[in-house]
A and B are shown apart, each in its own frame.
Chain A
């Protein structure tokens, strides 16, 4: 078992009102899983991703990653964990606009203090792995949305992390590019056996996952029961909102 979450809550104060973004999450995730986290806007998907990705700590409950409770780790331990065990892919790609594709991939290796030559070599290799070897010297604004997300995937993979988090990876892409990117992620997941945790609104994307969970009001609720709907969603013929709100 890679993750074990017990009664995890996250409480924010907004305009003097307390809001429970997560309200008692119990969840386990195994190594090598492809988990899709779904839910409507404000359901707590992204908050859960932040907790799992050591970007933030829960307000209460325990969140074990390989037996270590992330809720009790200090900032430097969380930073260490992010730099060694996790890779992130964002909806808006989050590439540094002034750096080339290759340099963007290299930023993931900066915390490792590897020398420039090795850094460059590994970045080139990662870009080659996502089919962008010939675009290495281009800055993000010279790349298409799909290419930018590929660079982001290369950046996430260059450190060969234990877990890859993808936050709405296809949210800014057209359908065809979405298919490419999700296909690539699925392929890499199958090849490398890394754990892949994807937050998505897109039922088609969720349908590719080995397991899906549904969040509502900060809680994991039962998935919509209709198996046919899942099957349709996985085939891409049905869009999601009808599932549950």
Chain B
């Protein structure tokens, strides 16, 4: 009787029932679409941060180099003896990345022991500058001046050769020292393996290297090849790409121990990657790290996210402000319309419900009947709403333009007085800003579908509650009303 009565009643006033369900559907559909859109924007932001920072990294710690420390790499270009003049030479200089000061590796353990820190891993970001060419003919015809132990600063452009100096070829690339025991966190975490493999924990002193795919292609290296770094031969065991096609990340990854040796940084790191036990701990952990390394620059994912600008940020703001409020407004309106329509339907059935009460139906049975009708409308609204939401999400994903995120427009590459940055950003920031393009998706998860169905059901229950409240107040004597 309960279901028959609901079915017949809804069929009788099917237009109104459909209108109520559609109202709920539009509200719920909008919630689904906006939430999917916000989820897509959030995914895009994660992609951007991932490409710049690394998955699972909550905080990075680095220390800015002091003014009087290090300096540009120097090459001893003096041929030494006359017989060397005019002969070919090749020099490598591997140094800590510009602006970054090394700290003792014991600090990594000290940070790891802090409250709220789940894991801390050290890394070493280096720049290798390779110079090759022919020694100058110091005393050649014309009495050109001999170079006085020519020094060369590792810039991207070769100096103008003197009349007696053959052109010098200069190339530089970045090298990252990876803690092979903990590759899940550290320089490699911001990359994706394309082919081959990454390091195993037994390869701490094995001369193996993982190359950035783009760098490998530019230099015609492939998996299984050998490359020379600072005079030593390394076997290429894997190729990686930086996430979302960003140009951040290092060109070459080698075991940390070897990186430390080749750059005279034994027992030292210049980057510490930290994963907090909980997202809520990050601010506290940042403070504590400052006590261990007072001069360090501690950067959290939020700091990095705050530097993101571009169309992605606009999309995010749109989702946060307009989208959210639009969805809430539509949902509230849908709930209100459903409730009003239900109360109005009950008001038109005063004599009907009065008769049932006169026949001995308890108030809760009458209320249950009204609630049942509303819940069915809510379920129909939920199904339609999910369909509308999925369609909306598909449209968003289909028509959304490529979103661009620019990070650190005002940042510099470090250096004396400059801010140290996570290594993933280093290369990019050296070029002033890093732009990552991501395609916006609008994922509709099962959880979202359930949320939508729940909201529609809630709308139905709410409308039913109002209608039921109205029905509960009817008296059996209303059955005797003369007027319809």
Q: Chain A residues in contact with chain B, CB under 8 A?
A: 46, 49-50, 53, 55-56, 75-76, 79-80, 82-84, 88, 90-92, 94, 96-99, 103, 106-108, 110-111, 116, 119, 155, 167
Contacts and interface: CB of A to CB of B under 8 A. Distances in A.
Interface stretch (B7-15, B66-74, B127-135, B191-199): B7-15
19 contacts: A55-B480, A56-B476, A75-B363, A79-B361, A82-B357, A82-B358, A83-B359, A83-B361, A92-B351, A92-B482, A96-B5, A98-B11, A107-B356, A107-B361, A108-B359, A110-B1, A111-B361, A111-B365, A167-B480
A245 B484 CA distance: 28
A111 B359 contact: yes
Contacts of B12: 97-98
B363 to A, nearest CB: 8
B475 interface: yes
B362 A99 contact: no
Interface of B: 1, 4-5, 8-9, 11-12, 351-352, 355-363, 365, 475-477, 479-480, 482, 484
A116 B476 CA distance: 25
Contacts of A80: 360
A53 to B, nearest CB: 7
B359 A82 contact: yes
Given A79-B362, A82-B357, 16 more contacts: A49-B480, A55-B358, A55-B475, A55-B476, A55-B480, A79-B361, A80-B360, A88-B355, A96-B355, A103-B4, A107-B356, A107-B361, A110-B361, A119-B1, A155-B359, A167-B480
Contacts of A111: 359-362, 365
Nearest to A81: B360
A75 B484 CA distance: 26
A88 B351 CA distance: 13
Contacts of A108: 359-360
- Between B5, B360, B479, the greatest number of chain A beta carbons within 10 A of the residue's beta carbon is seen for B360
B358 A46 contact: no
Q: Is the interface of A mostly helix, strand, loop or mixed?
A: helix
A155 to B, nearest CB: 8
A56 B475 contact: yes
B477 A83 contact: no
Minimum-distance CB pairs A-B, first 8: A83-B360, A98-B8, A111-B360, A94-B355, A55-B476, A82-B360, A55-B477, A98-B12
B480 A116 contact: no
A76 B476 contact: no
- Between B1, B11, B352, B359, the greatest number of chain A beta carbons within 10 A of the residue's beta carbon is seen for B359
Given A79-B360, A82-B360, A94 B351 contact: yes
A96 B12 CA distance: 11
Contacts of B362: 76, 79, 111
A108 to B, nearest CB: 5
B479 A90 contact: yes
Contact of B480 (A46, A76, A155): A46
A132 B362 CA distance: 29
Nearest to B4: A103
B9 A98 contact: yes
A237 to B, nearest CB: 28
A35 to B, nearest CB: 18
Nearest to B476: A55
Contacts of B361: 79, 83, 107, 110-111
B476 A82 contact: yes
Nearest to A91: B482
A144 to B, nearest CB: 18
A76 B365 CA distance: 13
Contacts of A116: 1
B1 A107 contact: yes
